[in-house]
Amino acid sequence: MGAFKSRRNYNTFFNKNRWDVGKYFREGYRYHEVLPSGYYTNQTRGALHKCCVGYCIAINKWEFDKQIMYAKRIRKLQRELGLEITDFKILH
C-alpha cells in the first residue's frame, strides 16, 4: 500500500517539497496524539464508533445487558477523548 501512495503522490511531493519519505509517513494519518491509555486518538475514535454501532444493534435486538456494556464503554472512550459524555436513559 505504501508504494501505491508514493507513486500516486510522487510528482506533487517531489517537485514542491523535495519529498522526504520519513517526514511523509511520520505526519501521516496513522500517527496522532497518544492518549494516557497508550492508544492513539484515531484508534480510540474507531473504537468509539464500533461501540456506538454495537449499542444501536443491542437496542434493536432488545439485549439489555449489552446495552449497558456498550454504554459504559462509550462513556469511558468519550471521557478519554475529552468529548461531551452522552447521557443514556438505560442507565438511570
pLDDT in tens, 4-32: 555 555 555 555 555 555 554 445 555 57
For residues 41 and 71, membership in a common domain is answered with yes
Q: Report residue 54's pLDDT band, with 50, 70 and 90 as the boundaries.
A: very high
For residues 55 and 11, membership in a common domain is answered with no
The answer on pLDDT for 70 being more than 60 is: yes
For residues 27 and 38, membership in a common domain is answered with no
For residues 59 and 84, membership in a common domain is answered with yes
DSSP assignment string, 19-36? --HHHHHHTSSS--PBPT
Provide mean pLDDT across the span 27-50.
81
pLDDT at 7: 56
For residues 27 and 48, membership in a common domain is answered with no
Q: Rounded to whole angstroms, what are the CA distances from 92 to 30, 67, 68, 89?
A: 38, 13, 11, 6
pLDDT at 92: 44
End-to-end CA distance of the chain: 47
Query: Which of 78, 92, 86, 71 has the alpha carbon at shortest distance from 63?
Result: 71
Q: Which three cell numbers stand for residue 50?
A: 464500533
Provide mean pLDDT across the span 50-77.
95
The parent domain of residue 68 ranges over: 34-92
For residues 19 and 44, membership in a common domain is answered with no
CA triple 35-41-43, angle to 5 deg: 115
Overall pTM > 0.85: no
